[in-house]
Amino acid sequence: MTLHPNAIDLFDPQVQQDPYEAYRVLRDEAPVWKMPGTGWYVVTRHADVAEVVRKPDVYSMRVGAKLDNPYQRDPAVYRIFKEEGWVNPGSLSTDPPVHARYRSLVDVSFTAKRVRAMESEIEKLCHALVDRFTANGEEHVELIRHLAVPLPMQVIAERLGLPLDDLPRLKAWSDAWVEPFAMNLGPERRREVARANVALQHYLVEKLEEKRRHPGQDILSDLVAARFDGQRPLDTRELLSIAEQVLVGGNETTTNAIASGVKLLIEHPDQEAALRADPSLLPNFVEEVLRLESPTQGLFRVAAKDAVLHDVAIPEGSLVHLRFGAANRDPRQFRDPDRLDLHRTNARTHLAFSQGAHVCLGAPLARQEMQIAFRVLLERLEALRFSEGANDFRYAPGFTLRALEALHLDFRSRR
């Protein structure tokens, strides 16, 4: 029986575990769907999502206070930021022309050239992590904790110029930072999360001060030295807004992408064999992972004026939700979209990193980390399989991120 769009509930944790049938119905039956109980317009077709992200004059990034996320709406949360920390001005969540002025200050740190220069360090780190879990002849690992979390976390902490001893608390703060995106927090947890965010802010303010006194070759030092429009330094709120987004963006989603990729590999032994035989297919595998299991399933824009999308009138001020995870399985864009296809010629047109002015800053780095992780795992481990009875393949319940909670694997070590 086919689902009716109005029977779909994207807040339902069961739908969040496996949202793809719901996405299919929405794409086919209601591609611009006024989501019951919210007033949001949910966009699920590839061409429509691509159109929205490319029209910032119509679909603005200044979602801010419009977002009826209980976290953003909670006055207690606002008070905590106002009185104990800093209210985030969303410096990168701005529209042209202001956005480009902020963005240019961080783009320099993530050019293809800069990212290529990090390759051997990332590879070394990846080998070191595998060494650790294969020491003493171990042939079992929970991969998220032992590789998918520490790899991107350590890479981004080093790029920011943060000490590796701080990784555990940086990870805890980062996890708290993304929690509100799940849109399912109760009042008490909302306050705890806000306090964790404020603790991260105080930590970063201290580090930024250190960089001011002793600059290094890192992003925090670059931000302290940056001049907005070539003139004024960034103030504390701007510095924090950008640094927090780079820190969190730099680890959470890449962790999820690596975990999803390894799961897909094991589920497709023929494709795993093809990758082992021809590692030049790895870049396209990375794109297919991002397409099939988009770590960021959806994000918002707000209509800056009355708009019409797919014959649906969207009044000014409405929230428009872009469902990247649905667009990336749209058969109008990808033939046989649910299939992992290492030879798909347009895999890279997926929207997992969005497009347009706000296209993910860290996309080149994330792609590189994923490629290296998959290559090293294939080199170092064989007979990769799910540990029997140990996995429930549960994704953390949430509206925005697709995050596998654990991945227990057995393998034979190759050296």
Considering only residues 2 through 31, tell me which ones interact with ligand HEM, judged by CB under 6 A. Answer: none
CB atoms within 10 A of CB 82: 11
Find the shortest distance in angstroms from Cβ 400 to ligand HEM. Answer: 10
Report residue 65 CA to chain centroid gap.
22
Q: What is the C-alpha to C-alpha distance for residues 266 and 412, in angstroms, rounded to an integer?
A: 14
Of 167-175, 250-258, 332-340, 378-386: span binding ligand HEM (CB under 6 A): 250-258
Helix 236-249, helix 98-107: angle, nearest 10? 60
How far is residue 111's CA from residue 108's CA, in Å, rounded to a whole number?
Answer: 6
Query: Binding of ligand HEM at residue 366 (CB under 6 A)?
Result: yes
Q: How far is the CB of 277 from ligand HEM (least distance, A)?
A: 26
Minimum distance of ligand HEM from residue 174's CB (angstroms): 11
Tokens of 235: 């103030």
Residue 358 is a binding residue for ligand HEM (CB under 6 A): yes
Residue pair 34/41 in contact by the 8 Å Cβ criterion: yes
Return the number of other C-beta atoms located less than 10 Å from residue 101's C-beta.
14
Tell me the three state secondary structure of residue 202: helix
The residue from 16, 134, 174, 254 that contacts ligand HEM (CB under 6 A) is: 254
Q: Contact with ligand HEM (CB under 6 A): which of 30, 352, 376, 401?
A: 352
> With CB under 6 A as the contact rule, which of the stretches 163-171, 200-208, 245-253, 384-392 interacts with ligand HEM?
245-253
How far apart, in whole angstroms, are the C-alpha atoms of residue 41 and residue 313?
10
Q: Which is nearer to ligand HEM, 257 or 409 (CB)?
A: 257
Give yes or no for residue 362 binding ligand HEM (CB under 6 A): yes
x-marked contacts with ligand HEM along 280-309 as a string, rule CB under 6 A: ---------------xx--x----------
Q: Which of 22, 35, 53, 129 binds ligand HEM (CB under 6 A)?
A: 53
- Interface residue with ligand HEM among 365, 378, 404, 407 (CB under 6 A) is 365
Q: How far is the CB of 91 from ligand HEM (least distance, A)?
A: 9
Starting at the edge strand found earlier in the chain, the sheet holding 408-413 runs 140-142, 408-413, 381-386
Nearer to ligand HEM, 99 or 380 (CB): 99
Binding mask 259-278 for ligand HEM (x = CB under 6 A): --------------------
Beta strand 307-309 with 140-142 is unpaired
User: Of residues 353, 374, 395, 411, which one binds ligand HEM by CB under 6 A?
Assistant: 353
What is the total count of residues that contact ligand HEM (CB under 6 A)?
Answer: 25
Query: Quick check: 216 and 223 in contact, CB under 8 A?
Result: no
For the CB of residue 106, give the shortest distance to ligand HEM in the complex, in Å: 7
Site string for ligand HEM, 311-330 (x = CB under 6 A): -------------x------
Q: Tokens at residue 162, please?
A: 């943060």
CA 324 to chain centre: 11
Q: Report whether 170 contacts 196 (CB < 8 A).
A: no
* Nearest by Cα to 253 from 296, 284, 283, 282: 296
Closer CB to ligand HEM, residue 211 or residue 402?
402
Closest CA to 48 of 63, 35, 31: 31
Distance in Å, CB of 415 to ligand HEM, minimum: 29
Which residues in the 77-96 window bind ligand HEM by CB under 6 A?
A: 92
Q: Which two tokens stand for residue 125?
A: 């780190």
Helix (H, G, I), strand (E, B) or coil at 311: coil
Task: Identify any residues that bridge with 322 across adjacent strands, giving them in sequence order.
Answer: 43, 299
Tokens representing residue 346 in the block: 């347009």
The residue whose Cβ lies closest to ligand HEM is 362
Q: Give the footprint of ligand HEM on this chain (CB under 6 A).
A: 53, 92, 103, 110, 156, 245-246, 249-250, 253-254, 257, 295-296, 299, 324, 352-354, 358, 360-362, 365-366
